[in-house]
Amino acid sequence: MKTSVRGYWLMTWLGLMANVAALPIIGLVAFAGPPLQTANISLAFSLAWPAAIVGIVASAGLLAERKWGAILAIVALSMAISGSLPYGIIRLVLVKDPQALSGLSIVLAVLNLLALIYWCRPIHRRVRRL
């Protein structure tokens, strides 16, 4: 990359590692046990695993310095936010475990929002080649 965008490589590698690590963690949470087990399984299959897979593909595109990598990163982060924030709020209300999974889910939603703001910057659409 001729002109380096600040934080590009750090965010790309963090995204790749986080999405690869998320795949088995999602499985552990989904099949863990009774509190909201049906919701956990359905959310894992319908949103969490697809978001992680799209995130891995986005990271691969970003490592190859393609513009579509930033677009896919925006899609993957939006998917992650749309699943983790409502899940964390509902779990906080129904199960009342702010230090456990509901608190972690809300924190992850905030971190994904910050990453989404980073990848939505116009500089990511101007610098790299197609």
Per-position pLDDT tens, the chain of length 130: 455 788 999 999 999 999 999 999 999 988 887 778 888 899 999 999 999 999 999 999 999 989 899 999 999 999 999 999 999 999 889 888 777 888 899 999 999 999 999 999 988 877 555 4
Cβ(128)–Cβ(66) under 8 Å?
Answer: yes
Q: Taking the model in full, what pTM does it have?
A: 0.88
Query: What is the per-residue pLDDT for 3?
Result: 53
- Which of 128, 111, 17, 14 is closest to 70 using CA atoms? 128
Query: What is the per-residue pLDDT for 78?
Result: 97
Place of tokens 């046990």: 33
